[in-house]
Chains A and B, each alone.
Chain A
Amino acid sequence: MKVKIRPDQVVLYVVLILLAAIMVYPFLWSVTASLKTNRQIFSGNPLELIPRPATFDNYRRAFELMPFGRFLLNSAMLAILVPAASILLGSMAAYAFARMDFRGRDFIFLLLLGVMMMPGHVTLIPRFALVRKLGWINKYTALIIPAIFGGQLVFNIFLMRQHFLSIPKELEEAAFIDGCSRWGVWWKVVMPNSRPAIATLAIIGFKSEWNSFLWPNIVINDYMKMPIQVGLACLQSNMRTGWDVLMAGTTVAIIPLIVIFLCFQRFFISGVMTSGMGGR
């Protein structure tokens, strides 16, 4: 079969490829500039993406100037711990809202949903004041605990409840007959049946924690406890280091999430689909 190439298809491809180049260029530039010398960055042509000579020296200097290893470790810890806690607590509450009858259930649920209407910045200052009063400034607790209790938790409750409502009740009833408690049913029957939903929420949470900046920037100024985005901003304010080292730091901050994205693309996509209600 002969494939005929229609002219409108050619135009479409040209536009799509041009757009893809614009979308990808900043990433390519960041990676390649991180391998260039400052001299090439400043005297070269910005379209020239090949480092000549290629050097890992910028990475060495970035890691020497700032504890980038710690930054990465801190961010990985946050991006795993916070969503894990949020999904666990969210699923617990969601299960009660989906399957149990108790006084004030609908009212409490409505009250929680209201949190999603609230932009995080209204609570920024009182949260900071509270954390300061508790003596958590510059401690991991300040990074973790307030991060768990926000819009994302409510979003998780909302979504897990939707999901639990779609699981057939017969599954649980069989477990009750076998003598399982509410907690047992939740943990052994309902949760294992929710793996795709959990994975989607874990990815949304990982992404938002990996990228979180404003809150950690306020509560942490100890380098050893900084997450990566805050550390990167600190490297920037120390601009004497130059663009070569800065781009090495930027690349270090971007690459882990890109790798996770390429591995778990479908969960990122389902994350967007489910977040029509405004969770992010």
Chain B
Amino acid sequence: MTAWSFILPAVIGLGVFVYGALVYSLYISFTSWDLLSPAKWVGLANYARLFRDESFHQCMYNTLYFVVAIVPAGLVLAMAMAVALNRPLKGVAFFRAAYYMPSITSAVAIGLVWLWIFNPDQGILNTILRALGASYPPRWLESTRWAKLGLSIMRLWQVSGYYMIMYLAGLQNIPNELYEAAETDGATPWQKTRHITVPLLSNTTFFATVMLLIEVFNLFEAVYVMTEGRPGGSTNTVLYYIYTEAFQSYRMGYASAIAWVLFVILFVVTLVQFMVRRRNERVG
């Protein structure tokens, strides 16, 4: 049948490398396996271990921190940039391109530059802070107190422009008449933003939130080149932990169990958001 010849390559490839891999991954998560000796069935032992593993708990805490530090600020920044650039300003194309550029570069390469920016002695950040009068600026990535904030700033810098473009697209769909009507009613710019722009962008905000959450949960490259989870595990993320457990400590079973927990969390997050949103749509 012709139809099958059209879909077969994609279906077979995805069947093996995604669905097959998924089932295989579930199996591995119930074993103890170091790649060299044959896998040994251990039942739920890997999952039980997650409850006792403080490094894992720390990763979860760190991830929560990154969610709080990056998601709301990213949304606000992206929306503000979009609103500011959604008008016929001189140089608007330049500003849009400049804000969007960080999001196309790899976190590995630009992470190296940020490593220098955060350099406590010679980096630009502390140079500026010292010029502003801080005699003991933070030691950023060297400090358990500041490293997470440093990584959050870097990621915020990198991803905001992407969501700005999403918001710019969303703004195109708001009819101008709404603003004109509000103006005849004497609405201030703030009122217009609060009562027209923000609510009518809620669709975009929803997608952006889900994408940002997934992005934060998958924080990896920046950690790999900038901190390796240090100092003291304070910047370790779930994905980086999966990577080190699997490919440095060769605990394939345990790493797979972590991966499944992360998968379930992300799935639930997406599901909950969909449900909340549907309820809101019915109420509103």
- Residues of chain A at the chain B interface (Cβ within 8 Å): 12, 15-16, 19-20, 22-27, 29-30, 33, 41-42, 45-47, 89-90, 92-93, 95-97, 100-102, 105, 108, 111-112, 115, 117-130, 132, 145-146, 148-150, 153-154, 157, 182-183, 186, 207, 210-211, 213-214, 218, 229, 232-233, 236, 243, 246-247, 250, 253-254, 257-258, 261-262, 265, 268-269, 272-273, 276-278, 280
Contact = CB atoms under 8 A, between A and B. Distances in A.
A127 B113 contact: no
B10 A119 contact: no
Given A29-B117, A122-B259, A258-B105, 12 more contacts: A16-B95, A26-B117, A29-B116, A33-B116, A89-B13, A105-B3, A111-B19, A122-B263, A254-B105, A257-B105, A265-B97, A276-B204
A25 B154 CA distance: 13
Given A119-B214, A125-B28, A129-B28, A23 B101 contact: yes
A250 B157 contact: no
A214 B222 CA distance: 11
Contact of B242 (A30, A89, A121, A269): A121
Which 7 residue pairs spanning A and B have beta carbons closest together? A211-B106, A149-B13, A96-B6, A126-B24, A46-B124, A123-B21, A149-B17
A272 B113 contact: no
Contacts of A96: 3-4, 6-7
Nearest to A24: B98
B14 A115 contact: yes
B83 to A, nearest CB: 11
Prevailing SS type, chain A contact patch: helix
B210 interface: yes
B95 A20 contact: yes
Contacts of A90: 10
B256 interface: yes
A233 B108 contact: yes
Prevailing SS type, chain B contact patch: helix
A210 B94 CA distance: 24
A186 B5 CA distance: 13
A29 B112 CA distance: 11
Interface in B87-120: 89, 94-95, 97-102, 104-110, 112-114, 116-117
B218 A93 contact: no
Given A16-B84, A119-B266, A211-B106, A276 B166 contact: yes
Interface of B: 1-4, 6-7, 9-11, 13-14, 16-22, 24-25, 28, 35, 81, 84-85, 89, 94-95, 97-102, 104-110, 112-114, 116-117, 122-124, 127, 157, 161-162, 165-166, 169, 204, 207, 210-211, 214, 217-218, 220-221, 224-225, 239, 242-243, 246-247, 252, 255-256, 259-260, 262-263, 266-267, 270
B25 A125 contact: yes
A261 to B, nearest CB: 5
Contact of B108 (A12, A117, A121, A253): A253
Contacts of B18: 115, 118, 123, 149-150
A153 B17 CA distance: 12
Contact of B13 (A101, A153, A254): A153
B225 A125 contact: no
B256 to A, nearest CB: 5
B6 A12 contact: no
Given A26-B113, A254-B105, A273 B246 contact: no
A280 B13 CA distance: 19
A92 B7 CA distance: 6
B282 to A, nearest CB: 22
Contacts of A210: 106
